[in-house]
Structures are given as C-alpha cells and as structure tokens.
C-alpha cells in the first residue's frame, strides 16, 4: 500500500479563474522522501493541505475533483482529526500553529491528546527538543522566542506526535543554515530507518538535492517534472526560468559546459571538476571608507528579563551608503540589534547615534523618519484596508501636502510593479506581495537608513531577487541598507560587508569575501557560506562569492 495516492486532483478557489491544482497524479511509497518545488503560486501549499484533509473538509474550495488517499483512507471520507494521527504538517505560517504558553506545553500538547502515558510524553518531548536544538528551552515562553526558534518549536511539536507522514511546507524558511541542515538530517534519519514518509516543500534546492529520493516540480498547478534529483536538476535553464535556483555547483558545471554528470553537492563537484581548469585570483576584498557615519553603536547591551542578555557589549560603526548583512544563528540577537537602532527596543545599556545624534532618547516616531524598518513578518506592520491607504498613511502623518502624498504613492506603486493592486486589501495578497507592500509603506517615508529583517522568508528565489534588486537600487541612491537574513547567497551577492552575531556578541565584522572565507570558524556560529564559496576555496584556495564571479576568473588551461 502506498503512503500517499493522488488521482486526477483538481482544485479551484472561489473568485479565481485558474485552477490551483489541475490533473495532479502522484504516488508516494511508504518511507519515501519527496521534495516538492516550484515558483510561488504553483500549487505547493494547496497540495500539502490536501494531505491531512484540511482541503476539502475545513477549507472548502469552489471545486474539488479527484481523490487523495492516505494509507488507504480517502480524505473526503475521514475527518482532519482522524487523518492527523497519520499526517503531521508544519506550515509556512508556523506561528499560527503555536498556541501554548511555554515550549514544554507546546511540545507535549499533541502526545497528550493521544492519551499516551506521562513517561512516553516526556520522552517524546525530550527527543523532539533535542532534534530541533531546543533542549533547555522547556520553560521559555513561546512569545519570547525568535522567529527561527518558533519555527523549530512548530517542527518539534509535530515530531513529538510521531506521524507516519511528515509534511514540511516551507517549514525551514526562518532557520539558520545549520538549523536547516539539522532538520534535513532528521529527515534523512527517518528515511534511513523508514519510520516516516517525508514530503518537504522548500526553495533551498541544494538541501533537497542531497537527501530527497524524488523531486516533484509543480508549476501552474501541474506536475512538470518528477524524478530523481540529479535528473530533475539537470534542467538548469528551465528551473531558473521558473524563478528557482538549482544547486550552485550543478549550475556551475552547466554554465561551463562540462560534459559530465552534474554534481549535486560540493564534495561531488570537487571530485569531478576537470583538472585543466585554472583560476586567476579574484578581486581582493576592500574595506570601504565612508565620510559620513550613519550608525554608531557603542557598548550596546540589552536584556528582556534581567537574566538573559540578548545583546552583550556591541560596538560597530556603519557608514552612510553601506550595504551590510547581519547574519548568525537563530536567537543570536540579530532582530534585537536591529530594533534597538529604530527604537522599537530601548537598549538596557549603551549608545546609538544616527548621523551624529543620540537615538536612544528619541521617540519611535522621530526615528521612523530616519530609519525604515521592515519586519520579518509583514503582517505585523500592515493595517490598512487597501494598498493605497497603506502607502499614504505614512506621508500624511508627516503633514505632507496631498500632491506630494499622491506622488509618493504613484512612485512606489510603479517601483514595486504593483499598480494593479492599489485598491486591493493587502491581507488577502500573496506573501510576496504583502512583503512588497510592507517595504513600500516604509519607503514612502523616504528614510535614510532601511533595515530589512528577513525580507526573503518564504519567497521563491525569483521573488527574493526582485526584493534584493530593489534594495540594491536604494543603496545605489545613497541609502544605508542593513539586511538580516539566513539566505547566504543573498548576502554573497548583495552585501558588501557582514556582521556575524552569536550569543548576543559581535563575532566577525568585515568585507563579505573575508568573512565567508573563514568557513571553519563560521561553522561554530551555525553559518554555512554558499556552495560556490566552499567549492572555490576547497578547489582553488580562493573564495568567490557568486557563480558569475568565479566564471570571470576561470580559464581552460593546457
């Protein structure tokens, strides 16, 4: 018996002219690990939501045709409660799954509802917290956790149920690079022990490439490719055209026209790369000097509860016009650091100066004219009924004349390419468009400093590129950009300087190339540079940040 059988599945939502899924047929064997990939709007989340019966039992689309069967149980004939004993799902919007006050209560809630003995419940809690690197967090309040820690908690709560099918719908998006690796290692363990069937939706294709048995590519509600990772990822141009990013080493071999089986990971690439290719030295990293200091931070420390210090004596200066990436593991203090700069958090100790003026004595509204802050979750800052209102409320609060307000509105709609959404309710837009609205609302205030707190979470690589190209454009106009992200390829491609935080302390600060060349040291801080950085350093002893940069310096020798 197959774990999952989907036959001729069609789903169409009310008010939509196109089908979310159309004619999907798929069988997944028990114990198989299947990666689901595709651009935003491809139907991935709809697909996942059918597996535990939320569709069609609780979420009722306008049209639902076909059959979804889980271990012989047709989802149309069984309740979500019945199916939940077989299928555990962690959604992209993981915070909506958390409702208990502490980590211990959250992870024990599911096993408790199964009526298990206390000893078994505590065993499962300990096990799932260890898997997700949350041991010691049992008494922590869920609201006090960082975004990545909350995501790990949602995964832990699902794992504690011991479902026979585990579905992760973009459930590693907020995790640091090593956190993502750990979840995939758990999945690999389940796969090897054949204790669970894994279905993972993810945009980080290098991870899926290394572990998944199969890759299914969805686009426009249809299955485009279905096969082994090496076979599917060989369609490099087609995947990139869809807005996806194949593993960097796979793309590198494809771009160089190397007639060999494309590698999926760094070790394969090192072993298979032809010896007659040589590289010239890459451009040396240069620390830029800026005449004006945009941000000066001295001895910055902060505690929320008087015991745990989120920040410990941070000292850093950022010049006007810099593009700085802030990286580090979940809970390292990145968001606290950023929110101290714009006044959301009042630091316990230390000084923050913006363009020479002390910021810690200014109000949030005063700082908002200088520092624009885009939250990790755009829903935290969107509150208007239409995009038009969202973009005009800020300029109006500055007392600007109507002509200027309307001009800023028009400019921002055009810049973001969402003129057609001006009268739409932002809460009903896709995650990518809600992110654009949140960014646009901040930019209409024309701040000199823009802080992007995980702006790429849950977006497809194509959407991430659009978001970061906007940030690059602002930087080229002289704006100071501070970007917090776990997407290391984003840091490599766009950030000129990197700050590495760990345990509330500033561990590394320097040009991106210099920081990413310290691969072994970064491992201690749960940071893993992109594949091309690791490959070029291991193969040539030089650190290249992007495929394009490496290809400019690689030559075919004799």
* pLDDT tier for residue 558 given thresholds of 50, 70 and 90: low
DSSP H helical ranges for 257-363 = 266-272, 334-341
Give the three-class secondary structure for 557: coil
- For 232, the token pair is 């599917």
- Give the strand pairing for 349-354 and 357-358: antiparallel
* pLDDT tier for residue 25 given thresholds of 50, 70 and 90: very high
**Are 4-256 and 293-530 equal in CATH topology?**
yes
CB-based contact 164:197 (threshold 8 Å): yes
- Tell me the HSE value of 50 on the side-chain side, using a 13 A CA sphere: 26
CB-based contact 198:191 (threshold 8 Å): yes
Confidence (pLDDT) at 56: 93
- Which of 167, 148, 77 shows the shortest CA–CA distance to 485? 148
CB-based contact 543:537 (threshold 8 Å): yes
- Which of 381, 364, 376, 360 shows the shortest CA–CA distance to 295? 360
Report the 10 Å Cβ neighbour count for 428: 9
Highest mean pLDDT among 86-95, 149-158, 525-534: 525-534
Confidence (pLDDT) at 171: 78
- Give the strand pairing for 480-484 and 323-327: parallel
Which CATH number is 4-256 given? 3.40.50.300
Q: For every residue of 374-439, which 3-state class applies, written as one string?
A: ECCCHHHCCCCCCHHHHHHHHHHHCCCCHHHHHHHHHHHHHHHCCHHHCCCCHHHCCHHHHHHHHH
Question: pTM for the complete prediction?
Answer: 0.85
Q: How does pLDDT run across 8-23, given as a tens digit for each residue? A: 999 999 878 889 999 9
Q: Write the CB contacts of 69 (distance below 8 Å, at least 6 apart in sequence).
A: 2, 4, 5, 6, 7, 75
pLDDT of 175 > 80? The answer is no
Count Cβ atoms within 10 A of the Cβ of residue 15 and give its class: 0-12 exposed, 13-18 middle, 19 or more buried.
exposed
Between helix 177-193 and helix 147-159 the angle, nearest 10°, is 10
CB-based contact 125:111 (threshold 8 Å): yes
Confidence (pLDDT) at 397: 87
The residue ranking higher by pLDDT, 556 or 483, is 483
pLDDT of 285 > 80? The answer is no
- Which of 352, 369, 376 shows the shortest CA–CA distance to 452? 376
Confidence (pLDDT) at 463: 80
- For 317, the token pair is 């200066």
* pLDDT tier for residue 275 given thresholds of 50, 70 and 90: confident
- Which of 248, 204, 173, 227 shows the shortest CA–CA distance to 431? 173
User: Mean pLDDT over residues 61-74, rounded?
Assistant: 94
Give the three-class secondary structure for 149: helix
Q: Does domain 293-530 have CATH number 3.30.70.1230?
A: no
- DSSP notation for 218-275: EETTEEEEEE-HHHHTT-HHHHHHTT----HHHHHHHHHT--SPPPSSHHHHHHHS-T
Backbone angles phi, psi at 462, to 5 degrees: -65, -40
Confidence (pLDDT) at 194: 64
pLDDT of 260 > 90? The answer is no
- Tell me the HSE value of 291 on the side-chain side, using a 13 A CA sphere: 1
Q: How does pLDDT run across 513-539, given as a tens digit for each residue? A: 999 999 999 999 989 999 999 999 999
Highest mean pLDDT among 134-143, 190-199, 502-511, 549-558: 502-511
Average pLDDT taken over every residue of the chain: 90
DSSP-assigned letter for residue 102: B
Backbone conformation region of residue 41, classed left if phi is above 0, alpha if psi is from -120 to 50, else beta? left
Rounded CA-CA distance 433/107 in Å is: 33
pLDDT of 145 > 80? The answer is yes
pLDDT of 192 > 90? The answer is no
Highest mean pLDDT among 33-47, 166-180, 276-290: 33-47
User: Mean pLDDT over residues 263-286, rounded?
Assistant: 87
Rounded CA-CA distance 154/142 in Å is: 10
What radius of gyration do the chain's Cα atoms show?
24
CB-based contact 87:30 (threshold 8 Å): no
pLDDT of 503 > 70? The answer is yes
Asked if omega into 160 is within 30° of 0 (cis), the reply is: no
Rounded CA-CA distance 218/222 in Å is: 5
pLDDT of 1 > 90? The answer is no
* pLDDT tier for residue 427 given thresholds of 50, 70 and 90: confident
Domain borders along the chain are 4-256, 293-530
Among 69-83, 182-196, 231-245, 389-403, name the one with the lowest average pLDDT: 182-196
- For 475, the token pair is 């930087």
């Amino acid at each position: 018996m197959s774990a999952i059988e989907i036959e001729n599945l069609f789903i169409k939502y009310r008010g939509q002219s196109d089908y979310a899924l159309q004619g999907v047929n798929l069988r997944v064997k028990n114990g198989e690990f299947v990666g689901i990939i595709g651009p935003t709007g491809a139907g991935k989340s709809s697909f996942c939501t059918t597996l535990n019966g939320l569709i069609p039992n609780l979420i009722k689309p306008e049209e639902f045709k076909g059959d979804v069967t889980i271990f012989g149980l047709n989802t149309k004939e069984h309740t979500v409660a019945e199916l939940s004993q077989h299928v555990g799902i962690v959604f992209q919007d993981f915070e909506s799954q958390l409702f208990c006050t502490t980590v211990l209560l959250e992870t024990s809630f599911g096993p408790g509802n199964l009526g298990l003995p206390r000893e078994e419940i505590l065993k499962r809690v300990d096990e799932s917290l260890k898997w997700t690197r949350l041991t010691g967090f049992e008494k922590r309040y869920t609201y006090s956790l960082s975004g990545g820690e909350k995501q790990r908690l949602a995964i832990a709560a699902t794992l504690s149920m011991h479902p026979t099918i585990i579905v992760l719908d973009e459930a590693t998006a907020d995790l640091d690079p090593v956190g993502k690796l750990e979840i995939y290692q758990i999945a690999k363990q389940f796969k090897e022990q054949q204790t669970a069937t894994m279905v993972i939706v993810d945009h980080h294709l290098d991870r899926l490439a290394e572990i998944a048995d199969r890759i299914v590519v969805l686009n426009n509600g249809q299955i485009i490719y279905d096969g082994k990772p090496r076979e599917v990822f060989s369609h490099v141009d087609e995947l990139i055209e869809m807005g996806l990013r194949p593993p960097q080493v796979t793309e590198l071999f494809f771009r160089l026209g190397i007639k060999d089986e494309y590698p999926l990971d760094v070790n394969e690439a090192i072993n298979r790369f032809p010896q007659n290719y040589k590289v010239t030295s890459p451009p040396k990293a240069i620390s830029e000097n800026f005449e004006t200091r945009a941000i000066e931070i001295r001895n910055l420390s902060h505690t929320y509860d008087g015991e745990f210090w989120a920040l410990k004596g941070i000292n850093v200066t950022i010049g006007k016009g810099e593009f700085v990436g802030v990286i580090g593991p979940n809970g390292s203090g990145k968001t606290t650091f950023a929110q101290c700069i714009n006044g959301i958090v009042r630091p316990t100790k230390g000084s923050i100066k913006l363009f020479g003026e002390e910021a810690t004595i200014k109000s949030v509204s005063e700082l908002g004219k200088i520092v624009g802050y885009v939250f990790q979750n755009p829903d935290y800052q969107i509150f208007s009924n239409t995009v038009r209102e969202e973009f005009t409320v800020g300029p109006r609060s500055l007392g600007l004349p109507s002509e200027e307000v309307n001009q800023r509105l028009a400019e921002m709609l055009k810049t973001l390419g969402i003129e057609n959404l001006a009268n739409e309710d932002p809460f009903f837009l896709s995650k990518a468009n809600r992110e654009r609205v949140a960014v646009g609302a901040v930019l209409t205030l024309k701040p000199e400093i823009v802080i992007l707190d995980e702006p790429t979470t849950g977006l497809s690589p194509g959407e991430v590129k659009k978001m970061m190209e906007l940030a690059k454009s602002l930087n080229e106009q002289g704006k100071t950009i501070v970007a917090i992200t776990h997407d290391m390829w984003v840091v490599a491609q766009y950030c000129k300087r990197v700050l590495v935080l760990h345990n509330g302390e500033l561990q590394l600060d320097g040009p991106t190339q210099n920081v990413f060349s310290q691969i072994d040291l970064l491992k201690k801080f749960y940071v893993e540079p992109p594949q091309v950085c690791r490959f070029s350093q291991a193969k040539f002893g030089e650190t290249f940040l992007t495929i394009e940069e490496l290809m400019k310096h690689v030559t075919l020798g004799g």
